[in-house]
Amino acid sequence: MPKVSTQEFEQLPLRVHTFLAGVPLHDVWFVDLPRWRAGVTLDDFLRTANNCLFTPSSLVRMLLGIRLFVGRFFDWDRKPAATAAKTFATRLTDTDHSRSLAAAGTQDGFFRVVYRFENEQLVELINRTVHAAALSTLVETATGYRFYLGVYVRSVSRFTPFYMALIDPFRKMIVYPSLLRSVRVRWNEAFGADGKHKNVNCRCDKDMLPFSQS
């Protein structure tokens, strides 16, 4: 699945652009989805798919298993005490809180929800390698839908740029393309050719979502 230009992403009317002002946008990915019916929101998709959009392939599972093993060995995945008070949730306004469909801090695998609006969700992960956030949104286009996944990375130490350079080839060539293909599968399972909702019962490994423990 291809990456998209930051210019296209930043033109979308999303809260994240001002909310994460000053946090580097690392890259943005997308997958185009067929129009089974009009008016589907990200929240519709999440609820119909039981919050299970990403299913990693066996290769991705193997790579992430290696990452978790190395992370345990070097103690990468412990949350740094110095960043404990710097969760992005501290940026939420009263309006953000009232709009959010999930409480800030809700556990979502290794991630924590920052906010979940009707058509926009931001989750974050803080450990000793990065403070990362993933923004998901669903946009209806003239011919179908486009699901975007934006990845933000804030350095937590001088090691962060080296770490991202180390994992980027695996993210770009294997992990994200595989996960976005699974989004398309979930979409087709959730809505199907008849355009009707179907609740998807699937084994969802939330601990293996994009840059889980990355």
Q: Are 38 and 140 in contact (CB under 8 A)?
A: yes
Name the most confidently modeled range: 52-56, 72-76, 111-115.
111-115
Evaluate whether residue 1 is within a structural domain: no
Evaluate whether residue 10 is within a structural domain: yes
Q: Closest Cα to residue 167, out of 23, 66, 24, 57?
A: 66
Evaluate whether residue 214 is within a structural domain: no
Q: What average pLDDT does this structure show over 42-65? A: 84
Q: Closest Cα to residue 131, out of 119, 122, 143, 140?
A: 122
Evaluate whether residue 213 is within a structural domain: no
Domain around 170 = 6-208
pLDDT at 109 > cutoff 90: no
Chain-centre distance for alpha carbon 150: 7
pLDDT at 90 > cutoff 70: yes
**What is the domain count for the chain?**
1
Other beta carbons less than 10 A from residue 157's beta carbon: 14
Q: What average pLDDT does this structure show over 133-144? A: 95
pLDDT at 212 > cutoff 70: no
Reported pTM: 0.86
Q: Closest Cα to residue 122, out of 30, 6, 42, 176?
A: 42
Instruction: List residues bridging with 100 in a β-sheet.
Output: none
Evaluate whether residue 163 is within a structural domain: yes
Mean pLDDT across the chain = 85
Task: State how far the Cα of 167 lies from the Cα of 214, in Å rounded to an integer.
Answer: 8
